[in-house]
Amino acid sequence: MTLSQQRILATEIPGPRSRELQARKVASVSAGVGTTLPVYVERAGGGILRDVDGNQLIDFGSGIAVTTVGNAAPRVVEAVQRQVADFTHTCFMVTPYEEYVAVCEKLAELTPGSHEKRSALFNSGAEAVENAVKVARHHTGRDAVVVFDHAYHGRTNLTMALTAKNMPYKHRFGPFAGEVYRAPMAYPYRWPGGAEACAEEAFDAFVTTVRTQVGEDSCAAVLIEPIQGEGGFIVPPPGWLARVAEWCREQGILLIADEIQTGFARTGDWFACDHEGVVPDLLTTAKGMAGGLPLAAVTGRAELMDSVHVGGLGGTYGGNPVACASALAAIETMEAEDLRARAREIEARFVPRLRALAERHPDRVGDVRGRGAMLAVELVSDGPGRTPDAALAGAVHRACSARGLVTLTCGTFGNVFRFLPPLAIGDDLLAEGLDVFEAAFDDAVSGKVE
């Protein structure tokens, strides 16, 4: 039975059954695991999340950029059911299976660059980032890794060190892994010298950081999200990433692109690096790749990936056969339904409306940015003063939730309102979701939301 693609408000949100479940959650789940919207989901698909009270919410979050093909895409459901009945696990490091190899073949085909590539599969994005750093250090014999302001790379010990933001990711969780250095990010909206000067000055600041704090010949890798995710959907100016990539190549420093959030059609191409013509040495993927099942990968130049001794990479569950079957079906769906074009179409539908909102509220919407179906507005309290307004982002979020629209915020200052709709969402729901967002925004600005 298919889920009707309709927003339904059957109870207040959250409804009574969700509130009961939330009470059980509080009594059994660690308080450290937060929930953005405590509405308990019963079914989901297309652009709809149906909760246990019969409410149907429009999904503008995709479980944080994961359900690109939807939460129950037919090819994914069929492939997973078939695979789970065949076998659930053998451990690829013990007795291998075709699905793992087929995912790595697909990664070699789709990731930037036509050179010889190899991949290794893992369970989560953080694990992929850790392994990309392992490969880079092993191959170069160098220790240092350079990351950027506003970066997000995960929550494990090494990736906490790589991540920029203290609260909630790092606060009181140290000590962190060493030999991690941070350079300024090319953030046009907040660049001190202004957006025009950003590309040039940010490149100089990056080179100075590596040169003065690390030393080029001690630097194993530069790790970057080509469009930053959790840090605020920050799109660097055109050409900046390519310059960074070229400079790294001259220094023998490896470039690792973290495409965990941006990858697999999200930004309107297979990878965000594609828009900039950048070919990284190593690339990490996860989130949208496997239709909601946990799967992550490191893909890189064959000579790097093959330089590691046998047994140096792996893990019990990495590249689980059910997750691999799901990824193959999700990627097939992206190809068959041309979801890259769909992401560009979503951008074309969203951006004019977000710009109109910015014109209506010039003191509150400081910036409209993003690419494909990865879009955001940065909220401020004083227009050109650019003072971050996290309270407004929170109020808009609450107003959207109450009206049955699932949304997410992000940003170092908590003031970025982001849009990550599933690419399987229909045009009607997209338009309706935007109506809901605009009404919620107007109410929040005029103080009608507590």
Rounded Cα distance between 255 and 370, Å, is 22
Task: Return the structure tokens found at 204.
Answer: 């100089």
Interface with ligand PLP (CB under 6 A): 124-126, 129, 152-154, 225, 229-230, 258, 260-261, 286-287
The Cβ of residue 243 has, within 10 Å, a number of other Cβ atoms equal to 18
Tokens of 420: 């990550």
CB of 159 to ligand PLP, least distance (A): 7
Minimum distance of ligand PLP from residue 310's CB (angstroms) = 26
442 class by beta-carbon count within 10 Å (0-12 exposed, 13-18 middle, 19+ buried): middle
In the complex, minimum distance from the CB of residue 341 to ligand PLP, in angstroms, rounded to a whole number: 23
CA distance 83 to 89: 10
Beta carbon of residue 127, minimum distance to ligand PLP (angstroms, whole number) = 7
Nearer to ligand PLP, 3 or 126 (CB): 126
Residue closer to ligand PLP by CB (options 132, 253) is 132
CB of 129 to ligand PLP, least distance (A): 6
Q: Is 149 or 230 the residue whose CB approaches ligand PLP more closely?
A: 230
| Number of neighbouring beta carbons within 10 Å of residue 322 | 22
Q: Give the whole-angstrom CA distance, residue 49 versus residue 33.
A: 21
Query: Among residues 125 and 366, whose Cβ is nearest to ligand PLP?
Result: 125
* Residue whose CB is nearest to ligand PLP in the complex, by number: 125
How is residue 135 written in tokens? 């490969």
Nearer to ligand PLP by Cβ, of 125 and 372: the residue is 125
Smallest gap from residue 373 Cβ to ligand PLP (A): 15
Q: For residues 241 and 380, which CB has a smaller minimum distance to ligand PLP in the complex?
A: 241
Query: What's at 435, amino acid-wise?
Result: D
Cα angle 400-404-405, degrees, rounded to a multiple of 5: 55
Are 417 and 407 contacting, i.e. CB atoms less than 8 angstroms apart?
A: yes
Beta strands in 372-422 (DSSP E): 374-379, 405-406, 408-410, 416-419
